[in-house]
């Protein structure tokens, strides 16, 4: 009896927590793209640990660089029309993305190019060179974030 | 090429020279606000002075405001719109063009502008030009910056008027503002602290003018001396500017010094996010060009600030 009650309670809880939004709805898109961006940030943060000399995993950098490169290929799909910070409060994506889409796509391409170079540099295993190329990756991140992302409130 | 490629050795020498200048200067215990110059204006500045001046330019972050990058303006030729709660400022042309720039300026003129907030004709500058911080600049840095600026290609580009509402349009009122909020005087340093700390303090407070954005301001735009670098909900561009004191929760108390130096070099936060907005410009046009020792000095100084909550 007790087990059955628990089972019912659990299913009710799951029901309450299940998404109220349909597949690919803007809220879900925003949540997903933030997860992808966090993945990129996670990899850059990890590489930064190596460049700063906090950890000795120079051999890991290539894997992180590949992670950034793979994620960067998804970016242009993550910004469907109407998912800007004017329409939704949980995003810092500026309407400028859709006003100058060509510039936005070029900026996303720049991250693909710079992260591809980072893969190559990482194979060399020189932490100094990795740091220098990570700086170029950072510039590519900034190339999108400066014109297209609102500052934190 | 405008942006100088400085060798590490030159940078270290420049840093040492500046640090030395600082020590000599604090020892002299200046009591006058009248600038004394170490260099006669008629003399041709040395190549070393020009090189050092290029470094001072990075440390002082002159480029961001004095270059209209958005409209592909020439470096240092001015005209970039700077919207603030007090109106829109258009920083002037500081290339050595005789008619539209500062080609006619002596090193004394530059010194008076940077450290007293006055134009060669005696007019007051608006404190959007951070002379409230630059007033701390060492003589040698002013002389070197002058040498560098005069060695740049002159660009003919006429200045435009600021767009300011009443009453800010009345420049004469600036005299009153300055009497209330402007404390002229060279950076004195703290003899109880080591050279790294003092270099960091000089870079943060005088050249880097970090407080201009990171220190909260009162209703009339004076910096709040009780809350240095504690951040503000409404910065000069109306946006939130973070607290950079070592407060554990609300400041950067959880940043190691290596996090700070890495951020100032690359723009990456410890969590892997990247700086945007005004700080991205500060990094691109300033701190990323400094030498490692100077970035470390900034980090050490910030680490030692009194932790304050807020904003």
Comparing alpha-carbon positions, the chain A residue that sits nearest to B271 is A45
Same domain for B81 and B209? no
Same domain for B34 and B82? yes
Closest alpha carbon to B182 in B110, B119, B132, B128: B132
> CA-CA distance, B181 to B132, in Å (whole number)?
8
Q: Is the pLDDT of residue A135 over 80?
A: yes
- The answer to whether position B120 is within a domain reads yes
Same domain for B140 and B31? yes
- The answer to whether position B290 is within a domain reads yes
DSSP string, B208-245: S-THHHHS-B-TTS-B-TTSTT--BSS-TTSS-B---S
Domain tally, chain A: 1
Q: How far is B40 from chain A (nearest CA, A)?
A: 41
Same domain for B156 and B299? no
Confidence of residue A18 (pLDDT cuts 50, 70, 90): low
CB contact under 8 A, B266 and A138: yes
Residues from chain A that touch B299, judged by Cβ atoms under 8 A, are: none
Last-in-domain residue among B147, B165, B183:
B165
Same domain for B92 and B240? no
Residue from the list A52, A54, A141 with its beta carbon closest to the beta carbon of B274: A141
Residues from chain A that touch B268, judged by Cβ atoms under 8 A, are: 44-45, 48, 134, 138
Residue from the list A43, A142, A149 with its beta carbon closest to the beta carbon of B267: A142
Residue from the list A135, A146, A152 with its beta carbon closest to the beta carbon of B266: A135
- The answer to whether position A105 is within a domain reads yes
Domain tally, chain B: 2
CB contact under 8 A, B274 and A54: no
Same domain for B54 and B152? yes
- The answer to whether position B185 is within a domain reads no
Residues from chain B that touch A147, judged by Cβ atoms under 8 A, are: none
Q: What is the pLDDT along chain B (311 residues), one digit of tens a residue?
A: 344 333 333 333 333 333 333 333 333 333 334 444 444 455 688 999 999 999 999 999 999 999 999 899 999 999 999 998 889 999 999 999 999 999 999 999 999 999 999 999 999 999 999 999 999 999 999 999 999 999 999 999 999 999 999 888 888 889 999 999 999 999 999 999 999 999 999 999 999 999 999 999 988 888 998 999 999 988 887 788 999 999 999 999 999 999 999 999 999 999 899 998 889 999 999 999 999 999 999 999 999 999 999 88
Tens digit of each residue's pLDDT (9 = 90 or more) over A73-98: 999 999 999 999 999 999 999 999 99
Interface probe with B: pick from A34, A36, A48, most Cβ of B within 10 Å = A48
CB contact under 8 A, A138 and B272: no
The predicted structure's pLDDT at residue B10: 38
- The answer to whether position A50 is within a domain reads yes
- Phi, psi for B232 (deg, rounded to 5): -150, 145
- The answer to whether position B16 is within a domain reads yes
Same domain for B143 and B216? no
Q: How far is A40 from chain B (nearest CA, A)?
A: 8
The predicted structure's pLDDT at residue A6: 53
Confidence of residue A152 (pLDDT cuts 50, 70, 90): confident
Residue from the list B265, B272, B275 with its beta carbon closest to the beta carbon of A44: B272
- The answer to whether position B242 is within a domain reads yes
Confidence of residue A20 (pLDDT cuts 50, 70, 90): low
Same domain for B158 and B200? no
- The answer to whether position A121 is within a domain reads yes
Q: What is the CATH number of the domain that holds A93?
A: 1.20.120.10
Comparing alpha-carbon positions, the chain B residue that sits nearest to A68 is B272
Q: Is the pLDDT of residue A53 over 80?
A: yes
Tens digit of each residue's pLDDT (9 = 90 or more) over A111-128: 999 999 999 999 999 999
- Residue A112 lies in domain: 24-148
The predicted structure's pLDDT at residue B51: 98
Q: Which tops the pLDDT comparison, A90 or A11?
A: A90
- Residue B17 lies in domain: 8-165
Same domain for B15 and B114? yes
- The answer to whether position B227 is within a domain reads yes
Q: Report the predicted TM-score, pTM, of the whole model to 2 decimal places.
A: 0.82
CB contact under 8 A, A44 and B240: no
- The answer to whether position B23 is within a domain reads yes
Comparing alpha-carbon positions, the chain A residue that sits nearest to B260 is A52
Q: How far is B280 from chain A (nearest CA, A)?
A: 8
- The answer to whether position B183 is within a domain reads no
The predicted structure's pLDDT at residue B34: 43
Chain A and chain B share a number of CB contacts under 8 A equal to 58
Paired strand residues for B87: B84
The predicted structure's pLDDT at residue A10: 52
Same domain for B243 and B150? no
Residues from chain A that touch B258, judged by Cβ atoms under 8 A, are: 52-54
Q: What is the overall mean pLDDT for chain B?
A: 87
Other C-beta atoms lying within 10 Å of the C-beta of residue A64 = 27
3-state helix, strand, coil in chain A (%, to 5): 75, 0, 25
Comparing alpha-carbon positions, the chain B residue that sits nearest to A133 is B266
The predicted structure's pLDDT at residue B5: 39
Q: Is the pLDDT of residue A7 over 90?
A: no
Other C-beta atoms lying within 10 Å of the C-beta of residue A57 = 13
Q: Which tops the pLDDT comparison, A27 or B40?
A: A27
Q: Give the mean pLDDT of A27-54.
A: 95
Q: How far is B305 from chain A (nearest CA, A)?
A: 23
Q: How far is B292 from chain A (nearest CA, A)?
A: 12
CB contact under 8 A, A46 and B267: no
Confidence of residue A25 (pLDDT cuts 50, 70, 90): very high
Same domain for B149 and B213? no
Same domain for B121 and B16? yes
């Amino acid at each position: 009896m007790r087990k059955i009650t628990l089972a019912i309670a659990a299913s009710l809880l799951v029901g309450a927590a299940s998404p109220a939004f349909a597949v690919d709805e803007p809220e879900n898109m925003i949540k997903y793209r933030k997860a992808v961006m966090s993945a990129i940030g996670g990899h850059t943060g990890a590489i930064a640990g190596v460049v700063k000399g906090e950890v000795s995993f120079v051999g890991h950098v290539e894997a992180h660089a590949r992670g950034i490169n793979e994620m960067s290929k998804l970016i242009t799909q993550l910004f469907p029309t109407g998912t800007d910070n004017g329409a939704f409060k949980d995003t810092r994506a500026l309407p400028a993305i859709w006003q100058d889409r060509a510039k936005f796509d070029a900026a996303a391409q720049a991250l693909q190019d710079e992260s591809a170079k980072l893969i190559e540099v990482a194979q060399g295993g020189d932490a100094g060179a990795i740091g220098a190329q990570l700086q170029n990756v950072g510039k590519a991140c900034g190339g999108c974030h400066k014109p297209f992302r609102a500052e934190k409130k | 090429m405008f942006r100088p490629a400085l060798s590490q050795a030159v940078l270290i020498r420049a840093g040492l020279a500046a640090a030395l200048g600082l020590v000599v200067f604090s020892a002299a215990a200046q009591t006058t606000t009248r600038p004394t110059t170490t260099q006669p204006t008629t003399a041709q500045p040395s190549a070393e002075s020009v090189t050092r001046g290029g470094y001072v330019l990075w440390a002082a972050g002159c480029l961001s405001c004095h270059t209209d990058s958005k409209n592909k303006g020439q470096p240092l030729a001015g005209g970039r719109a700077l919207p603030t709660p007090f109106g829109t400022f258009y920083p002037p042309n500081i290339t050595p063009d005789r008619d539209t720039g500062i080609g006619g300026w002596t090193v004394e003129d530059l010194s008076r502008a940077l450290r007293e907030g006055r134009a060669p004709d005696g007019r007051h500058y608006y404190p959007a030009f951070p002379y409230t911080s630059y007033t701390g600049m060492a003589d040698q840095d002013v002389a070197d910056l002058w040498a560098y600026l005069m060695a740049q290609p002159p660009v003919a580009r006429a200045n435009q008027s600021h767009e300011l509402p009443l009453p800010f349009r009345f420049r004469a009122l600036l005299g009153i503002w300055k009497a209330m909020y402007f404390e002229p005087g060279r950076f004195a340093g703290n003899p109880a602290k080591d050279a790294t700390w003092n270099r960091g303090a000089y870079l943060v407070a005088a050249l880097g003018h970090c407080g201009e954005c990171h220190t909260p301001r009162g209703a009339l735009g004076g910096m709040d001396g009780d809350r240095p670098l504690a951040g503000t909900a409404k910065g000069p561009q109306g946006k939130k500017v973070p607290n950079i004191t070592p407060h554990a929760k609300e400041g950067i108390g959880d940043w190691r010094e290596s996090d700070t130096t890495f951020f100032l070099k690359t723009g990456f936060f410890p969590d892997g996010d990247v700086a945007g907005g005004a700080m991205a410009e500060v990094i691109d046009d300033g701190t990323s060009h400094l030498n490692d020792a100077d970035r470390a000095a900034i980090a050490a100084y910030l680490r030692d600030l009194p932790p304050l909550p807020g904003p």
